[in-house]
Amino acid sequence: METLLNDFSPGLFVVTTILLVALIALMVKFAWKPILNSLEERESGIENALAAAENARKEMQNLQADNEKLIKEARAERDAMMKEARVIRDKMIAEAKEDAKEVTAGLIEKAQASIQHEKQAALAEIKKNVAELSIGIAESVLKKELSSKKDQLELVEELLKDVTLN
């Protein structure tokens, strides 16, 4: 430190101080304001970017909420449509079963009527055959005058063996 004090020159000190003040004044006039302005611009740009990011985040949240709402509505609509489709399907199945029952009942009724008709026709045919047989037997019996019951029974049995039912 002593060497500094010995080498101290007041003229040099004054010149250096004047130069330093002049340099600071020039810096304030020409460099300080642009630097501060650029810092303020950068700060406002960052604030704007943060605000835009916040707005975008809020918008994304709104869009997500809208999407979730739309998804819930779509699911509810799908469930309603599925329920309606099940109801329609069950109704169609019930109608088809009812129609099938009606058709089946009609067919059964027709079949029973046909069976009854065939049965009556068969009975009429049998009655006709029995009547013809009876007449044939009676003719044979009358043609051949038989003296004994034994002969009559033998004749009837013989005729029955010869006759075959259709």
Q: Is residue 3 part of a domain?
A: no
Give the pLDDT confidence score for residue 145 in this predicted structure: 59
Q: Is residue 103 part of a domain?
A: yes
User: What domain range includes position 87?
Assistant: 12-162
Give the pLDDT confidence score for residue 166 in this predicted structure: 46
Give the pLDDT confidence score for residue 13 in this predicted structure: 87
Give the pLDDT confidence score for residue 77 in this predicted structure: 95
Q: Is residue 6 part of a domain?
A: no
Helix or strand or coil: residue 8?
A: coil
Query: Which run of H or E residues covers position 133?
Result: helix 33-143
Judge whether 155 and 140 are in contact, CB under 8 Å.
yes
pLDDT, tens digit only, all 166 positions of the chain: 567 667 778 888 899 999 999 998 888 888 888 888 889 999 999 999 999 999 999 999 999 999 999 999 999 999 999 999 999 999 999 999 999 999 999 999 999 999 999 999 999 898 888 878 887 877 776 666 556 677 777 777 777 777 765 4
Q: 72: which 2 tokens?
A: 């819930």
Judge whether 151 and 140 are in contact, CB under 8 Å.
no
Q: Is residue 158 part of a domain?
A: yes
Q: Is residue 53 part of a domain?
A: yes
The total domain count for the chain is 1
Q: Is residue 106 part of a domain?
A: yes
Q: How far apart, in whole angstroms, are the C-alpha atoms of residue 12 and residue 14?
A: 5
Q: Which residue, among 161, 155, 151, 126, has the nearest Cα to 138 in the 3D structure? A: 155
Q: How far apart, in whole angstroms, are the C-alpha atoms of residue 165 and residue 118?
A: 17
Q: How far apart, in whole angstroms, are the C-alpha atoms of residue 83 and residue 89?
A: 10
Q: How far apart, in whole angstroms, are the C-alpha atoms of residue 72 and residue 64?
A: 12
Q: Is residue 49 part of a domain?
A: yes
Q: Is residue 4 part of a domain?
A: no
Q: How far apart, in whole angstroms, are the C-alpha atoms of residue 146 and residue 143?
A: 9
